[in-house]
Amino acid sequence: MPPAPKPEILAAFEAAKGFMPAGEGLALYAAAVEAGHLGLPLLEVGTYCGRSTILLADAAREAGVTVLTLDHHRGSEEQQPGWDYHDPQTVDPEVGLMDTLPTFRRTLHRAGLEEHVVALVGRSPQVSRIWGTPLGLVFIDGGHTDEHANGDYEGWAPHVAEGGLLVIHDVFPEPEDEFTGQAPYRVYLRALESGAFTEVSATDSLRVLRRTGTGI
Ligand SMILES: C[S@@+](CC[C@H](N)C(=O)[O-])C[C@H]1O[C@@H](n2cnc3c(N)ncnc32)[C@H](O)[C@@H]1O
């Protein structure tokens, strides 16, 4: 049996605003538990309101490591007003832009996981350019354009330690199944073709790869 979060953690995940279905969440949790054994930080690109962060943080707590979760908190293209994934409650009325940071902080507080998570607020390429620490797991769930998905891969995959895991969300091999574009699928193929990563598991649109070679 793969490791599973406690019922109260699963309940907090299900109550949180966000996009990840439970089946993919359980696969993410199992990957995070495994990667936690490396004793290195786990990093998520794409915090949104903290739904997936809850599962990473619970696994990190068990392993005694820290989760880093990165987002500019202004939302992806498909989450902006007028698009299918827009939630008007995420708009800060004072500045007139999305701001998911307050909701994220409430989510983590309610789940009792604040002390296991460091929030990085900024743009993924800007943060990855100055990053220097090896990571046990990188979870890519940020922007879904080719520019952003490739930027996340190029910026963060190099930091996945030997034996560490690269997890990619929203991988849709069939164009008719895609709803926010196939850029994550192309990045998944790129990672496999690099020879640096080997597939470990596929759960719906979530792919878990392990670093088994060098480079990206
Ligand atoms: C699909 S949501 C993440 C969903 C979240 N993991 C969950 O489980 O609910 C994508 C997030 O990536 C963020 N994002 C998109 N492009 C980004 C970039 N270049 N740098 C930082 N964050 C980015 C958006 O603000 C958005 O909150």
pLDDT on residue 178: 65
115 within some domain = yes
pLDDT on residue 177: 67
**Which DSSP state fits 86?**
-
Closest CA to ligand 1's atom 8: 52
118 within some domain = yes
pLDDT on residue 31: 98
How many Cα atoms within 13 Å fall on the side-chain side of residue 30? Answer: 18
Q: Ligand 1 pocket: which of 13, 17, 76 to mutate (most atoms <8 Å of CB)? A: 76
Q: Which atom of ligand 1 is nearest to the CA of 180?
A: 1
Q: Ligand 1 pocket: which of 19, 52, 56, 72 to mutate (most atoms <8 Å of CB)? A: 72
85 Cβ inside 6 Å of ligand 1: no
DSSP line for 19-68: S--HHHHHHHHHHHHHHHTT-S-EEEE--TTSHHHHHHHHHHHHHT--EE
Q: How far is the CA of 68 from the centre of ligand 1 (A)?
A: 13
Query: Residue 77 belongs to what domain range?
Result: 7-211
pLDDT on residue 176: 74
pLDDT on residue 1: 86
Q: Which atom of ligand 1 is nearest to the CA of 139?
A: 6
Q: Based on the residue annotation, tell me whether 37 is a catalytic residue of this protein.
A: no
216 within some domain = no
**pLDDT per residue of the chain (216 residues) written in tens, 0 to 9:** 889 999 999 999 999 999 899 999 999 999 999 999 999 999 999 999 999 999 999 999 999 999 999 999 999 998 999 998 999 999 999 999 999 999 999 999 999 999 999 999 999 999 999 999 999 999 999 999 999 999 999 999 999 999 999 999 999 998 876 667 899 999 999 999 999 999 999 999 999 999 999 999
**Whole-structure pTM value:** 0.98
Q: How far apart are CA 47 and CA 66, in angstroms?
A: 15
Q: How far apart are CA 152 and CA 124, in angstroms?
A: 7
1 within some domain = no
Number of domains in the chain: 1
Please name the residue ranges forming H helices in the chain: 7-15, 22-36, 51-63, 101-111, 124-129, 146-156, 183-193
Q: How far is the CA of 164 from the centre of ligand 1 (A)?
A: 22
Q: Are 117 and 67 in contact (CB under 8 A)?
A: yes
CATH of the domain at 18: 3.40.50.150
